[in-house]
Amino acid sequence: MNRKALAILMRTRMRPTDPNKLSMSPNRIQSSFESNLFGEHGTSSPKNFDSSSNPERGLKFVQEALHSAITLSKTDIIDEVLNDFSQGYFNLSYENRHELLLVLSREYDVSRVQLRELIQQYLSLDIPSIEVKKVMVEGEKAQSSDHDVQALLSAFYRTERNLRHALQPKYETLFERLNTHPGGLKFLTILRNDLLSMLQEENSAPLRALDSYLKEKLVTWLSPAALELHQITWDDPASLLEKIVAYEAVHPISNLIDLKRRLGVGRRCFGYLHPAIPGEPLIFIEVALLKDIAQTIQEVLWDSPPTPESQATCALFYSISSTQPGLAGINLGKFLIKRVVDLVKRDMPHVSVSTLHPLSVPDSTMFATLSPIPGYMQWLLAKLTSQRKLAEADTVDEPHSEETSSSTFSENILQPEEETEILGSSSGYTSGRNGMDVMWNLLTSTNYEWTSSPKLMSVLQPPLLRLCARYLLLEKKRGKALDAVANFHLQNGAMVERLNWMADRSEKGICQSGGIMVNYVYRLDKIEENAQSYLSEGRIQASCDLQRYVEKQQ
């Protein structure tokens, strides 16, 4: 794709009246990739295969190709078999893919009969511990005199080797061969994406085991040593820039000018590329070079003119996007952030701590984010809904004992002064029995009318910020932050620095978090310490201001 074609693509993307002609979404890119994955290597579609006209025959063909890809040892035909399997897989319906992966997970798993026999064989071997010790101590003399002990030791080693081999599922051969096959690594990410979708629909132990094994393989193959850090610029091929437009998941790129600004002066964009998936970053991060930590995404995206880079004192990470859904759960972002920090620090040593907000270590080098809080509003509305139901149950006239009263689980998540303000300012907009009723009605109103009323925004601001601090610092799942973005940055060693009111006024921002965004700060001298305390103890480091928010509600 040339740059003119990219410009046409971007203009098409901006036509709201023609939604079918928008820029290629990740799913559409994947579909396009599936149809051309192996064609670019000069191979053809599988012979005598047409899954659309005969789905059952198509599934059988792919199953046969799968079996051959795992069992054949002739290297001269492995590539052709892998092409048949991969192209055939893409031609299958979702239901038939499901059936095929079930076959793969069950019939090409560990051979438990063989494993049990080897375990029994291992347990039957008996070497007196004193004899083993004697062999280890006396060395060659003992080895020459204790041939029986040596034979038994050899049997142990041989059986242990066979056990290790037996514990490897047969589908490992398929994964290993695909990884070295042109286009195979990308294919495996698509296959895992299908697996993740299927696991959301059913709790299948064989599929879970298959996914877990494939994930372990991908973690190994996508280690930082195998990845190339690439700074993405306006001079890169249009095909790569198209991927940035399509996969930007946090703040959509609105037009060609927006894209050029994000790659221009005062901005950086870095991506991790893998040699087996050329021209397509697995993950990329966007950085703004600013004088201070930004409080709104508007000032980041529409900073004109941008801050002269020689005056920048803060590197702000404002968007990080993964391009491969099949790599979910593989934390490439952690390594990407660390590499980018090192690179920016090397190239721009004057980028250091911001003076916008006092920090406890004013002379430490600092990098920050302006991050969304995607789960906040969902959590808050669920909390309001449950508390409204409990309050309604408590008003029922039927007598009930103190032990069974729903008030045991009730809490008014609004402070008295907040409830008074909300009830007094909602006249003409909505009504309710209490402040939680009114707040729920306002937050779920059509088109978010409350954001157009300065009066309502002023009374909603204190409780929304306070409850957001509670959500980020106190609400946890399995001992870690409930919010996915918070968990990502905290496990990477960041601290929660500041909440920003109306930092993202887009519909997505209002829907996800009431427009609130958060600054996470990476202090280089504290990253490892913060990460370790969070991962081992679930401890969240936060600024004094945020700590004061939550101290009021504990």
- Cα dihedral across residues 270, 274, 279, 283: positive or negative: negative
Instruction: Report the Cα–Cα distance between both ends of the chain, in Å, rounded.
Output: 57
Contacts (Cβ under 8 Å, ≥6 apart) of 215? 192, 329, 330
Active site residue 371: yes
The region, left, alpha or beta by phi > 0 then psi within -120 to 50, assigned to residue 360 is: alpha
Determine the Cα angle at 285 with ends 496 and 327, to 5°: 95
H/E stretch holding 518 reads: strand 517-523
φ, ψ dihedrals at 372, nearest 5°: -75, 165
Write b or e for each residue in 351-386: b if 16 or more Cβ atoms lie within 10 A of its Cβ, otherwise e: bbbbebbebeeeeebbbbbbbbbbbbbebbeebbee
Contacts (Cβ under 8 Å, ≥6 apart) of 200? none
Evaluate whether 420 touches 414 at the Cβ level (below 8 Å): no
- Cα dihedral across residues 310, 313, 319, 320: positive or negative: positive
Given the residues 371, 425, 426, 543, select the one marked as catalytic: 371
Q: Is 334 exposed, middle or buried (0-12, 13-18, 19+ CB in 10 A)?
A: middle
Rounded Cα–Cα distance for residues 329 and 437 (Å): 38
Q: What share of the chain is helix, strand, coil (3-state, %, to 5)?
A: 60, 10, 35
34, 35, 37, 38: CA torsion to nearest 10: 130
Active site residue 239: no
Asked, as a colleague might, if the bond just before 305 is cis with ω within 30 of 0, I would say yes
The radius of gyration of the chain from alpha carbons, rounded to an integer in Å, stands at: 29
Order of strands across the sheet that contains 228-231: 228-231, 267-273, 283-290, 314-322, 366-369, 517-523, 495-500
Instruction: Name the nearest CA neighbour of 371 among 284, 306, 454, 294.
Output: 294
Locate 25 and state its tokens.
Answer: 């979404």
> For 61, how many CA atoms within 13 A lie in the half-sphere containing its CB?
23
> For 112, how many CA atoms within 13 A lie in the half-sphere containing its CB?
3
Given the residues 354, 489, 513, 543, select the one marked as catalytic: 489
Residue 269 neighbours by CB distance under 10 Å = 24
What amino acid positions are annotated as catalytic residues? 371, 489
